[in-house]
Structure 1
Amino acid sequence: MKKILLYPQTILRILDDLQEIILVTDQNHKILHFNRAAEKFFQEERRRVIGVFCHKFFEAYLDKEICELFKEKIAQKESLYHFPVHFSHKKEKTCYISIIVNEIEEKTFLTILINEQLPSEFTGNILDSIGEALVVIDRNFKISFINKKALFLTGYTQEKTIGKNCFEIFKTNICRSSCILKQSFNQKKTIKRRDIFIFKKDGTEFPAEVIASPIIIDNKLIGGIEIFRDISFEIQMKAIFENVGDGVFSVDRHFHITSFNPALERITGYFAEEVIGRPCHEILGSDLCNSDCPVAAAIKAGKKISNKHAVFIHKSGKKVPVSITVAPLKDSEGRLLGAVETVRDLSEILILRKELEQSYRFGDILSKSPKIKRIFEILPDIAESESTVLITGESGTGKDIFARAIHDLSPRKNGPFVAVNCAAIPDTLLESELFGYKAGAFTDAKKDKPGRFALANGGTLFLDEIGEIPLALQAKLLRVLETKEFEPLGASKPEKVDVRIIAATNQELETLVQKGLFRQDLFYRINVARIHLPPLRERREDIPLLVEHFIEKFRASKGKNIIGITEEALRILMEYDFPGNVRELENIIEYCFIICKEGLIYPEHLPDYLNPYKREQPPKEELFLQPLTLEEIEKRAILQALKRNRWRKMATCRELGISKDTLRRKLHKYGISPEGAK
């Protein structure tokens, strides 16, 4: 075996004779040597271990957090000395592992040493050479050693720290309440946390990743070790990189990928570890890669290229339409390092996935209307209660979405949410649909079928269009609300049920009560917490917000590159009364996506029944049939523009290309007013 040449047989025999547990890997981190002490310690035969990846081998013996730490160190080509660990088959004992990274001819080899006792060479010099801050603390939580890195990060000196209680020095946000060193003592294992803030000597603080491990010798706790590092910059950069909504990646000057954020992982289907170091065209497969590469153009021109449309090829093979922006990446001295590209998924795969996972959540209710905002303010309180809720409002106002939001905010959010449209089920079937039936209850009842009440047990039952329930069934519904019991058809005894009722209607239940079509006692039973949703015509300020939302939604589902709506088309929608409310607006935008090919939605893309609201042609009598002076021509032009824009002065100014002050002077000069023009 050629790899063994790095360790001649004489060296391997010497390693076998040592009491120290030793493993050696090749450049691929596969185990190359496993000495006798290792065989005895792990109770593994050498022949079964040779050739196994070291991380796979250790995963069976060490906690996941420890393995991840070792992987990070190896990836950073940093050695680790005498790190205390607990192996799964020797949990009662603390061992000390050293991972020495050796680079030979640009290849990385590992030598792994394991001691069952605290090595005598584990001295301050070694601890000071570690790249991270380290503190040794006795079982009384007094500092017995602190290395140079820890002193540098905290601003203290050894004289001020040795012998002091660790919480007096570091004053972290968890010292008094949930000290992880104390937890590691109690659990006898290593604990890692990243949400810790350590105070410096000057009173400032920094976020740190802290790893706490107990030191146990001869089954006796003698103290512990805490290793920490300042993660301020890492948190800032990671937060920006990982939480930005768009995909982001960077390349070097040779177009090899150097970073790849989570959003882009979702857009492309590739994980960052799969693509780092590879040419970007191999991963993205864009239709621009071979002919009009925007990355190459940005690097060559030395300037930003914005909003260029392209198609990426997802790992699964499907096409993903995207909008990309590329900028050259330079260092502080202006030297070119490569380029950074942001990617917006025009099919909104990420948004649709989020909608499926968090469908109808409170955050999905879009509104800036004061009327809806007042509902938002009380919605959490209503959700927290167990009271019956009645949601009223015209058809299409979103009563079902608010019902779902109440459920998702309630203590029952982990239970089922069952919706029933009472108007969509025939009266003869509604009772069995709500309460279920037993086998033999009627001719076709072959087996028991649970009703919606049973299915909603422990959760919420949403009764939409409750005003459509027949009177005979209303009495049974009232009994369920009062007793929390119901009887399936054909049952001999009632069944208990724990369900919260949310009812909705687009009718005036008070009027139905007066007409004898709805039970008064049932009305009072459901009319505990009442929410009225205003129609869309009473909250027109929400129309632009909803239009943008629906454009994004249909751009995602239909894959069309429609990026917005023109001001004139939006004006037509703003003037319309929407008898079908939000549902009708959604249908209008969906229709526009059928007619419009790409770009912006114009008035001609709107449905035909909105034609009366489009720009009108001037009447024939207003055409210039005889010679006119310049002032008369100007007056008629202004008057016609005003009529076309329904006397909206700002729209008229934009059409004529004049300022508002100029228009005001002209109107005064020519005596033009809406009353005089009729």
Structure 2
Amino acid sequence: MKTTTDNPALYRTVFETTGAGTIIIEKDTTIAMANSAFAALVGMAKEQIEGKLPWTQVIADPRDRERMLRYHNARRHTPDAVPQAYEFKLVDTLGQKRDIWLRVNMIAGTDLSVASLFDITPLKKVERELRTSEAKLSGILEAFGGFTYTCDADMRLAFMNKRLRDMIGRDAIGEPCHRAIFNLPEPCPWCDRHQVFQGETVRREFQSPLDGRWYIAFSSPLLGIDDQVTDKQSVVIDIHERKQAELALKEKEAYLKKENLRLRATIKDRYRFGDIVGKSAAMQKVYEMILRAAAIDANVIIYGESGTGKELVARAIHTMSDRAEHPFVPVNCGAIPANLLESEFFGYEKGAFTGAHQKKRGLLDAADKGTLFLDELGEIKEEMQVKLLRVLEGGGFTPIGGLTVKKPDLRIIAATNQSLTQLIEKGSMREDFFYRIHIIPIQLPPLRERREDIALLVEHFLAKHSRDKEVPVLRGHELEALLNHGWPGNVRELENTLQRYISLQSLDLMGFTLRSGAQAADNPTNRFLNHQKPLRDALRAFEKAYIAGLLHRHQWNRTKVAAILGVERKTLYLKIKRLGIDGAEGK
């Protein structure tokens, strides 16, 4: 057979100018001709190669050798069935290995093949280094606490780290990022795609619509070969705790500003605060607490004996708060029978039960966006506390017979003359309910502990109830009697006492009467004998005076008074209502 070695001048010039290592291979795998570039690759002289060296000897990997030999034989029978180009590892005489890209073709009309070898070792090294860098970067992205993703100009995801895939529960490559990550039908309101695709790096904080938590996103452009932006890369980190602290600080600053303005507005008249009158140090502390409570939206609990003005304080907080334009709904919890509490608070739908002829709006609904004042909080039974607690925790309520859950926006101001901690110890109040209510406590002092306010209160009530009449003037001994009295009914008792004084011109204090200009006192028996009423009226008057006296002696603790009288608590409520007993009766 005539080979290339018979006519070497025909190929030599071509071989030496190709720039690649080039060889001509015989059918038996012997290298018939090699150029200088190939000789340099294997570290041998051309004389050692041509006609002597089988090309299989320079293949480093046995698996490559087997594969390439199979191609060599098949190429001479079915050339279209084998690849023309592929990679393999070459080994030189020093045992060094190189990455080679090989291209092989048959020489037409012969059984010889010509192969060109390109040394791609440097390229492979860069490729391996790039893969190592990518692996390290991927490890960093997977290890850090946030999530990262890239998306193209159409906002479709091109990459997601494992944390993001785990968070949404799938690999969402190809899906719009706003739909896959945040379940939004349109691009996110905080999206910065326009700036990023113009080459800017953007930092933005946002609150996720999925979980309500705060995040910070760093978005930067990714450039293509022509230095044009091809993708947007975003790194997102959870900053909820830090943001909450920041918002709390801002809220506190706003509160301090509001409180300062309110203090300035009221400092000129600190002897009274709305309808509340008093200049004592104890009342000044109460005024300060009202200002603080009005400046924020937390729940309030007001402690104080009956008649100390708990509802007045609650109204003052509401009036000075941001809820002032909305309803103030007072509720006497002790006056509502236990079996009606749920329907009163939650309301009911028409036909919900026998007698529900029309829909009724509940107290919680009525107080929406405003304030719900719960007087005598300690009278609410435990089962009702559980239901109210769900409302306070944001779970809302469902009217009786209804299907829709309502979540009113309201503030609770509660009041009690009992010790709630003692109720917790006795098991009458749940701790979780107590802590939801007991956020801002305000303690109202009894009138006997702020006697310096009595003269101011007397002046205020005389002017208030005289209306268009001339305001009466108390004599010295009358004012002294008021100052020395114990006032178990507190400010309410003082107000009612002065109302009677205006009407009857007599000062009636705890079982004796001081008439205007007189020092004489009557005993309780004479008070009934002097009226000379029919027996039924006298019995009614005695019953009223007796129950009122017990109520005042025990600071309107209805449970205790009902036990002394030997009647049910409900019966006592009915008697108080029927007899018209108020905070100053029976004095």
Please classify the TM superposition score into its range, dividing by the shorter chain length. Answer: 0.3 to 0.5
Q: Which has the larger radius of gyration?
A: 2
TM-score, reference length from structure 2: 0.41
TM-score, reference length from structure 1: 0.35
